[in-house]
Structure 1
Amino acid sequence: MSTSVRLGVISLSILLSACMVGPDYHRPELTTPVAFKHVEGWSFATPADEDTKGEWWRRYHDVELNQLVEKLNQGNQTVAQYEAQYRQAFALAQSSRGALWPQLTTSAGKTRAGQGTGSSTSSQAVQTSGIRTTYTATLNASWELDIWGRLRRTLEANQASADASAATLAAMRLSMQSELVQNYLQIRVMDQQKRLLSETVDTYKRVIQLTESQYKRGIVASADVAAATTQLKNAEAELVDLVWQRAQLENAIAVLIGEAPANFSLAETEAVPQLPEIPVSVPSQLLERRPDVAAAERSVMSANASIGVAKAAYYPSLSLSASGGYRSSTFNDWITMPNRYWSVGPQLAMTLFDGFQTKYGVKQSEASYDASVASYRQTVLTAFREVEDYLVALHTLGDESVLREQALAAAKQSLKQYTNQYRVGLIGFLDVVTAQTTALSAERTLLTLQQSRLINSVQLIAALGGGWEGLSVQD
């Protein structure tokens, strides 16, 4: 290659890289607070959704839960749907990259054509016809010079869309994992509630036996027996109610891991996973670890690049094309030098008038960009709110838990004293019923509170994009 040709190629490359119509991307401005309001030391800054977050569900130290999440990662059909959509977006981006390169096509064919020829005499026309066979072999080359950056902006938009699709896939996977973990934790707390109600039913049955014995001896009235029976049946009804609630959660887990509910069951256990330790201080790289925030920003990138694609329609397009091949009327001497042909030349095309379609196409792209910016800002604000909500909930529920434990201890002590007084006939059975109801309510409230704290911890981890793995934190 001669020096002049090389310089020409370099100059053309510089020209093509320099000319790109449309705005370059800049992250939309956001007004954000310096730190989270409800926890001193928590703050946020630049997102990093591609950072490794680790297997956050392992913080609950439950082997069966870990196995279920692994099954979800492999078998969840919603995740599979979004994974296929990402592959589709990725293929589109790769396809648009190919438009930057010259295009080569080839063809070979045989045609038979006939044409009528007329000759006339003084009295009549004699019509004759001829049939011609043609063999062709052609190689075509074309290259659209991306002078105004239309193809590069298209690639930029499609690549951003693919990245947004990847982030959406990560967001959906995180959502499914979060839902499964929450359902599992609820089931484990329900197992404790079921055990509590079963023990309560056994206790109430013994109370009925005691009350009936005292009634037969004339110590208490029949109303005491009726009250004890009412209390027992209410407890048994609540126990039955837990059965269908647990079954619904079990069915939900089956669907999440990609199995039919009829083929899945979760055995009861006595242990409830412990609340994970929430760090006291976390560095600022948190909220943009959230895949939904990343997806929203990459949608802004795509919309921004689409403005450049729309504006490029104002400018002419320049293509270089060349073709060559062989054409013959006989097969034997088809591919020979006398039958060769070729053509080469540039083509400049420009729309002179399109009824203002290009103008409003640009306006449409700009409006789409504004909408995506608003969506991005709303996504970030929602993320801030969710973290604040779950932080204040965890701390409030923690304080409430201490008070509820004290209330339960007092209720159990009160029940013990009332039961002893009833045995010796100092008080009526109604006082015992009230004490039993209060103690059961306090214990069930404490279990419900434990469930709420566990659920909020999962929601907080999900709101932070999957935890704080890989960050320098202070526990």
Structure 2
Amino acid sequence: MRHKNLQSLSLSLLPLLLPACGSSGLLTTVGPDYQTEPLKAAANWQAPQPVAHQGDPADLNRWWERFNDPVLNRFLAAAEQESASVADAAARIEKARANLVGADAALLPNIGSSIEAKRSSSSFGSDPFVWNQFPAGLQSSWEIDLFGGLARQEQAALSQLESKNAAWHDARVSVAAEVANAHLAYRYCEGQVQIVQADTESRRESARLSEIAGKAGFRAPGDIALANASAAEGNRTLLQQQAQCERSIKGIVAMTGLQETEVRKLLTGAPDRVAKLPSPPAFRIDSLPAQVLLQRPDIAAAERNVAEASANIGVELAKRFPKLSLSGNITPTLQSINGSALLLAETWAIGPTLSLPLFDAGKRAADVEAARAQYQAAASNFRSKVRTAVKEVEEALVRLDSASQRLPQGRNAVTGYRANFLAVRELYQVGLGNLIDVETSRRNVLSAEMALKEIEQERVSAWIALYRAAGGSWEQHEDARKAGPSSAAPNSGDPEKTDHVNHQTDFTGGKS
């Protein structure tokens, strides 16, 4: 009979309580309903866009692969695997997943069980007797989401997970750009070494010829001393440049976690790539700034942080309203006294509890105001990141346009200075010039060649910066965008929270 009463009570409450399992409160959902606002960006880019007739915004998805550089691909994969920032971002995703599971669980009944064994002795003023008890209990509790506080908590947890997913992609894009720049810096350094080495050999040859001419009485001692000093200066510059390349290798080792011997073998294993700067494949960005900004994972993460802060306002507001919970337990107990036969005693209880917040000295109201302040801060941070993103894209476009325009001028300068140097040196060799003019002309050639190599390096670096500023290729796999670096547990069937295959996406557009 008691079981029938319990069942009848549960069935009578079920139609009332089922709405509390949804994504809104049973009575109402307090707090603001978040609406994504359009990005406040200019209608067009102010800086000139690169000329890329075959380019397409989708080309970012496989951009690194189209460098056709297996060494760079190896460095990128190793750096992502070893990056502390990527690992930290992945750990934050797992923490956000746990928060979301907890928020989902709070909407459902909590069920627990216990098994005990107790032996006690009592006298009650007469001979003592021994009492053996073996209770086995089943307990359940369920908070009914009257005012949507738990629903808002679930919304906040989901927004947090989406933010951490985007932050993970942002970390991967940042690592890719950082490693690519380090690889570029080494190749640039190799090119500088080649220029300085050729210049140093020329100085040494000039010094050798001056020594011979001096011994024959055709060169003054001052010219010989100047030629030797020039050769020494060339040697010093060469050693300095070689040391710079060595430091670049150390940096790549630190980023990738590879053994230095392997890094050196990769860098020098292909002679045709030594001192050759990467050739970045051209791409064009979308003409609408807002579309480009939406590709950036840091912007997506900041926007999701705003959504989380908005939901937290509802979480704090709900704490100022009554709370209804339903709890119950069933505890059958086997017991015996003084070794008698075991008897079964059953107890059960079920009922609602209504908690009313009466006086807290203004704490709940203060928490609501703090949540509103956090929302304003998150919204301000989002707008700031949008402005920063626009600046980064514009700066990358300016750098790329400037380097492209200066590149032919730099080549013309090298051609002119080299022709002048050859002419001046020829005059000196036939006795119609002086060594000071030769060395001045030599320095002009060296400066022009170094400047040209710097422009070439800057142009590649500008492409990498534009890739980074345009958001990289973080959305190349939709399932990776939703799931992050690992899979989640199955839950309510929401497409943003369903189980996904655990995988990592490499920087070349494939899966690893």
TM-score (norm 1): 0.87
**Does 2:101 correspond to 1:102?**
no
Aligned pairs for 1:175-214 (under 5 A) are 175-214=174-213
2:438 to 428, 432, 449: 432
CA contact (8 A) 1:115 1:130 kept: yes
Q: Which runs of 5+ in 1 are unaligned?
A: 43-50, 119-126, 471-475
CA contact (8 A) 1:255 1:261 kept: no
1:344 to 343, 346, 350: 350
2:402 to 375, 396, 420: 396
Shift of 1:270: 4.3
Q: Which runs of 5+ in 2 are unaligned?
A: 1-6, 52-57, 269-273, 477-512
CA contact (8 A) 1:160 1:299 kept: yes
With over 3 angstroms needed to count, the CA separation of the structure-2 counterparts of 1:52 and 1:326, relative to structure 1, is farther
2:48 to 9, 14, 39: 39
With over 3 angstroms needed to count, the CA separation of the structure-2 counterparts of 1:17 and 1:248, relative to structure 1, is farther
The Cα offsets for residues 427-472 of structure 1, whole Å up to 9 and x where unpaired, read as 11111111111001100111111111111111110011116998xx
With over 3 angstroms needed to count, the CA separation of the structure-2 counterparts of 1:153 and 1:246, relative to structure 1, is same
2:61 to 54, 69, 91: 54
Shift of 1:366: 0.7
Task: Give the letter for the 1:22 counterpart.
Answer: G
**Does 2:175 correspond to 1:172?**
no
Task: Give the letter for the 1:276 counterpart.
Answer: P
Shift of 1:294: 0.8
CA contact (8 A) 1:53 1:468 kept: no
Aligned pairs for 1:199-238 (under 5 A) are 199-238=198-237
2:36 to 21, 27, 30: 27
1:450 to 453, 456, 467: 456
1:327 to 321, 324, 333: 333
Task: Give the letter for the 1:390 counterpart.
Answer: A
C-alpha separation between the residues in 1 aligned to 2:474 and 2:97? Answer: 29
2:95 to 78, 88, 93: 88
C-alpha separation between the residues in 2 aligned to 1:55 and 1:382? Answer: 25
C-alpha separation between the residues in 2 aligned to 1:146 and 1:207? Answer: 89
CA contact (8 A) 1:40 1:281 kept: no
C-alpha separation between the residues in 1 aligned to 2:132 and 2:192? Answer: 89
The Cα offsets for residues 85-131 of structure 1, whole Å up to 9 and x where unpaired, read as 2112112212221111111111111223456756xxxxxxxx98665
C-alpha separation between the residues in 2 aligned to 1:113 and 1:358? Answer: 46
Shift of 1:359: 0.6
Shift of 1:396: 0.9
Larger Cα Rg: Structure 1 or Structure 2?
1
Matched position secondary structure for 2:64: helix
Q: How big is the alpha-carbon RMSD for the aligned residues of Structure 1 and Structure 2?
A: 2.9
Return 32-41 or 148-157, whichever deviates more: 32-41
Task: Give the letter for the 1:106 counterpart.
Answer: S
With over 3 angstroms needed to count, the CA separation of the structure-2 counterparts of 1:280 and 1:466, relative to structure 1, is closer
* Structure 2 match to 1:461: 467
C-alpha separation between the residues in 2 aligned to 1:324 and 1:278? Answer: 68
C-alpha separation between the residues in 2 aligned to 1:52 and 1:171? Answer: 18
Return 193-202 or 57-66, whichever deviates more: 57-66
**Does 2:245 correspond to 1:267?**
no
* Structure 2 match to 1:161: 160
* Structure 1 match to 2:505: none
* Structure 1 match to 2:418: 412
TM-score (norm 2): 0.81
Task: Give the letter for the 1:447 counterpart.
Answer: K
